Structure 1
Amino acid sequence: MIQFHRMEDESDKYSKELDVAVRVVHLACSLCQRVQEGLVSTGSDQVRSKDDHSPVTVADWSVQATVSWILSEFFGSQNVSIVAEEDVQTLSKADSADLLEAVVCTVNECLAEAPRFGLKSPDKALGASQVLEAISRCSSSGGPVGRHWVLDPVDGTLGFVRGDQYAVALALIEDGQVVIGVLGCPNYPMKKEWLNYHHQHYRSMSKLSLPTPDSWEEGCVMYAGRGSGEAWMQPLVHADKKLEWPNFARVIRVSSTDDPALATFCEPAEKANSNHSFTAGLAHSVGLRKKPLRVYSMVKYAAIARGDAEIFMKFARAGYKEKIWDHAAGVLIVQEAGGVVTDAGGRPLDFSKGLYLEGIDRGVVACSGASLHEKIIGAVYASWDSSNL
């Protein structure tokens, strides 16, 4: 069980939930690694397009089913409300039988490994109807009252199918506030400089220097509880090992850099839902000199929490609405690691309005500290009228 060092904060209240959440994200990362290796090596057809043309894979559905089953078994399905990205519409179609079979097989392979992570396995393999039910159970719409788990099974699916960065994100919201955040980043390099390269490239490059058996080269799970004032990072659990607490956990902290000229800023790799040109103009006006770090998924939040970058800015194109599962876990981890996350008007993000971050003022700004944050917010106000966002 996770032990917190400060007994008077909210995080102790959620220690059981955080313990299960960290373990299940470790398990989900193991699943994703196997599926990604298969996709990259075989060019598998186990990828579909959703209505918004974004990709969805066997891993998305399999992680959602796995996390749903574990949480329901541990806390009781009647007590668990889950908000998650995927539904069963595609899997339920007559021409998706092979896809559904692949998902069921992947889920059962994963759940069979659950004891390695200190979690319970089912007594016997789940059937297709049970897997579909587990995915369908994640149909809550959240809101301002009660407890809601928020899951993005594979955040950054485009990066995932390209063999690059992605994240598994799980958060717990209670009465509209994020109280637990867990972020699994299976391809996150431990050497900061490798973040600038495609994952497959730095993996092949890093093989030039032979790692020691216990070296921690890539992959981590980050987590935090609200009010603890601390965020933690653990390495992933290798195939032949068990998750033994505390699993080499170490505290992570945001960067102390407050000079814009020395700061690294992240922005989404995808251009579809973000305005890179406005961000570039804003970066120039603030005095950011470094080339932006463009990475998929909530790995951007992870980079700030770990001190590898100082700023994350996202200004969505007109009509795009930010979803809570794309931000909840990362926001809390950055905040507990000492960072600041608001909308572009300087107001906290509101996770109490359902599936979307309603009422966002222009965009999302995450910074390693208050000084940089104030400069970015000031520049937004100065630049906005002249932008074509």
Structure 2
Amino acid sequence: MEVEKYSKELDIAVRVVHMACSLCQRVQKGFVSTDSEQVKSKDDDSLVTMADYSVQATVSWMLSESFGSQNVSIVAEEDVQTLSRADSTGLLAAVVDTVNKCLAEAPKYGLTSPTKTLGTSQILEVISRCNSAGGAKGRHWVLDPVDGTLGFVRGDQYAVALALIEDGKVVIGVLGCPNYPMKKELLSYHYQYHQTMSKLSPPAINMWEKGCVMHAIKGSGEAWIQPLINGEDKLQWPSSATQIRVSSIDDPALATSCEPVEKANSNHSFTEGLAHSVGLRTKPLRVYSMVKYAAIARGDAEIFMKFARSGYKEKIWDHAAGVLIVEEAGGVVTDAGGHPLDFSKGIYLEGLDRGIIACSGATLHEKIISAVYASWDSSNL
């Protein structure tokens, strides 16, 4: 895989994700979870916030400007139906304002701002442009504007995830984690609670990092992390990057696993049984969003297992960026049958065998796959 081949795409994607994270931080800071104008319920009852729509509009506009809208195919989570409803006028106005403020900061990241303010119809148009169905041919950008909306609303972990798929393979992964803490132990604590506590007793320097952006190109064998540059910083582009590697722990008794916080679409009891049979002794980190992949790539955890409840279909935008970053950092990600994840079949991970298993190395991975086969028949999945 020629790393140079994707250098422009990676460069733009990383800058755009920094912009999107800055936008999210600003919205989260002023966010009141009871504000019905800012949180709309989608048909599937998942929370959608002003940040989701604003990030999607910002990323869509920047990618189209950088590569030409006729060349850009974007697969993304949100559509404009909810935003176009009569009772969403306040939300839509807030999105328009947020997007324009964010785009005005583009020069800080070495990108170009629009020549004039984008109007409501333009914003709706750039959001609805993200309606590609992906597939096995051509290039498709895959965006999850705010992965872990519940984490976002609660002031906890969430991620902005952008990947590029070419001919069915993920070739670029960028993951922005605005609340990623410097210390691994803080990952499993409620972020807002600790921020409140740290205001009461001043924390040690660097206890709270302002977040980070991780990125990788397929085949490079390298994954990188940068501290977040946000709109309020004096810092401007470029942001220095440091290489990250997965943890070298391969003894299950010493390994830390991550699992989803939400029980709605994952089977915690099967994961617990599996952890026990493999010999995992450390209490799992319950982490919102694709930050679980970030934790493995950075060496803060060794295992992420997710077994969906019957009928739930995994979507490509929830995994593409994170999977590539873990793999290039030296980790292994497959389904529970040991097969690579297939991103070529549209918006869902079709043909997924039972669940997803991400590990820091092959030894742990093999032990877990074996345990899945041993435990499966006696489970109630």
C-alpha spacing 1:92/1:101, structure 2 compared with 1 (3 Å): same
Which residue is 1:379 aligned to?
A: 371
2:99 to 100, 107, 112: 107
Indicate how the Cα distance of structure 1 residues 191 and 379 shifts in structure 2: closer, same or farther if over 3 A, else same.
same
Is the 1:156–1:166 contact (alpha carbons within 8 Å) kept by the matching residues of 2? yes
The answer as to 2:160 corresponding to 1:200 is: no
- TM-score where L is the length of structure 1: 0.95
- 1:274 paired with 2:276, answer no
* 1:327 is aligned to 2:319: yes
Q: 1:14 aligns with which of 6, 9, 13?
A: 6
How far does residue 93 in structure 1 lie from its aligned partner after superposition? 1.0
Partner of 1:364: 356
Question: What's the offset of the Cα at 1:41?
Answer: 8.1
Q: Percent identity, aligned pairs only? A: 79
Summarize the Cα distance change of 1:191–1:151 in structure 2 as closer, same or farther, 3 Å threshold: same
Counterpart code for 2:163: A
Equivalent position amino acid for 2:234 in 1? K
Other structure's SS at 1:168 match:
strand
Aligned counterparts of 2:307 and 2:29: Cα–Cα separation in 1: 32
The range that moved more, 347-356 or 229-238, is 229-238
Q: Given residue 195 of structure 1, which amino acid in structure 2 is its aligned partner? A: L
Q: 1:338 aligns with which of 330, 335, 339?
A: 330
The CA deviation at 1:200 is 1.0
Cα distance between partner residues in 2 of 1:45 and 1:55:
12
Q: Displacement, 1:117?
A: 0.9
**Alignment partner of 1:28: what SS?**
helix
Q: Is the 8 A contact 2:76 2:317 kept in 1?
A: yes
SS in 2 for 1:222: strand
Q: CA deviation at 1:49?
A: 1.0
Number of corresponding residues: 379
Q: Do 1:117 and 1:242's aligned partners in 2 also have CA atoms closer than 8 Å? A: no
Counterpart secondary structure, 2:253: helix
The separation in 2 between residues aligned to 1:66 and 1:375, in whole angstroms, is 43
- Unmatched 5+ stretches in structure 1: 1-8
The residue that corresponds to 1:49 in the other structure is: 41
- Taking the TM superposition and a 5 Å limit, the aligned residue runs for 1:238-257 are 238=230, 239-245=232-238, 247-257=239-249
2:174 aligned with 1:174: no
Q: What root-mean-square deviation, in Å, do the aligned CA atoms of Structure 1 and Structure 2 show? A: 1.4
Superposed counterparts of 1:30-49, under 5 Å = 30-40=22-32, 43=35, 45-49=37-41
Give the alignment of 1:75-224 within 5 angstroms. 75-207=67-199, 208-209=201-202, 217-224=209-216
Q: TM-score with structure 2 length normalisation?
A: 0.97
Supply the distance in 2 between the matched residues of 1:210 and 1:384 (Cα, whole angstroms): 45
CA contact (8 A) 2:74 2:141 kept: yes
Q: Is the 8 A contact 1:267 1:293 kept in 2?
A: yes
Contact 2:224 2:243 in 1 (8 A): yes
Distance in 1 separating the partners of 2:339 and 2:3: 23
Describe the superposition over 1:30-61 as per-residue Cα deviations: whole angstroms up to 9, x where unpaired.
00001111114875641011111110000000
Residue 187 of structure 1 aligns to a residue whose secondary structure is coil
Residues 298 and 262 of structure 1: is their aligned pair in 2 closer, same or farther, counting only changes over 3 Å?
Answer: same
* Displacement after TM superposition at 1:248 (Å): 2.5
Instruction: Return the offset for 1:211.
Output: 5.7
Query: Which deviates further from its counterpart, 361-370 or 44-53?
Result: 44-53
Letter of the structure 2 residue corresponding to residue 67 of structure 1:
V
Instruction: Say which of 299, 308, 316 aligns to 1:316.
Output: 308
Contact 1:38 1:44 in 2 (8 A): no
CA distance in 2, matches of 1:289, 1:233: 29
2:233 corresponds to which letter in structure 1? D
Q: Which runs of 5+ in 2 are unaligned?
A: none
Q: Distance in 2 between matches of 1:331 and 1:354?
A: 17
User: Deviations along 1:89-123, whole A, 9 cap, x unmatched?
Assistant: 01111121111101101100110111111111000
8 Å CA contact retained: 1:40, 1:162: no
Asked if the contact 1:313/1:363 (under 8 Å) is kept, the reply is yes
Residue 231, structure 1, aligned to residue 223, structure 2: yes
Amino acid at match of 2:68: G
